[in-house]
Amino acid sequence: MSDQSNLALLVLRLVLGLFLAYHGYNKFFGGGRITGTARWFASIGFRAPSLQALLAATTEVGAGVLLAAGLLTPLAAAAVIAVMIVAIVSSHWKVGFFIFKDGGGWEYCASIAVAAFAIGTIGAGEWSLDHALDIGFHGWVGAIVTGAVGIGGALAQLLVFYRPKAST
């Protein structure tokens, strides 16, 4: 892989990973904290909203840091995909495509998920902990792990915890 490709992957991993980690950090320490996040999760139909808020924040911080570091990259990317799919289904889909719509459409979450899938498929590159530790699953294996674990994790969470209110 060329230095330019490694640089591009590093920048993409750092931005995507650290932005997501900061999003999770905000659930822990900003605004309404975990309690406020749990109230919001309850309002959109999640069972065990305190648990869901804690899991969401922890997943965002953990997956974000792992992705930024390039460690266990397909699994970190899968966690990002799972979080984004849950966000799309539970909150953004009903608003429509565009993020600028009131309530935020699903385009931004989908863009993050697709970028995570690309990273999980390509791999973290040579400038990563995966490379330094000789942990390598990318290409088709990375794509399958990233996609299957990401989609499967989202579906499992939605099936077990998401009970949206019926439309009247």
Mean pLDDT of the chain: 95
In this structure, is residue 166 part of a structural domain? no
List the domain range (segments joined by +) for residue 66.
3-161
Q: What are the phi and psi torsion angles at 45 (to 5°)? A: 110, 15
In this structure, is residue 167 part of a structural domain? no
In this structure, is residue 25 part of a structural domain? yes
Q: Taking 80 as the threshold, does the pLDDT of residue 168 lie above it?
A: no
Q: For residue 3, what pLDDT is reported?
A: 96
In this structure, is residue 168 part of a structural domain? no
Q: For residue 167, what pLDDT is reported?
A: 67
What mean pLDDT do residues 67-86 have?
A: 98
What mean pLDDT do residues 19-34 have?
A: 96
Q: Taking 90 as the threshold, does the pLDDT of residue 117 lie above it?
A: yes
Percent of the chain with pLDDT over 90: 90
Q: Is residue 26 exposed (0-12), middle (13-18) or buried (19+ Cβ within 10 Å)?
A: middle
In this structure, is residue 92 part of a structural domain? yes
What mean pLDDT do residues 64-73 have?
A: 98
Q: For residue 43, what pLDDT is reported?
A: 94
Q: For residue 31, what pLDDT is reported?
A: 87
What mean pLDDT do residues 67-95 have?
A: 97
Please report which confidence band the pLDDT of residue 137 belongs to, taking 50, 70 and 90 as the band edges. confident
Q: Taking 70 as the threshold, does the pLDDT of residue 82 lie above it?
A: yes
Q: Taking 90 as the threshold, does the pLDDT of residue 50 lie above it?
A: yes
Q: Taking 90 as the threshold, does the pLDDT of residue 28 lie above it?
A: yes
Please tell me the total count of domains within the chain.
1
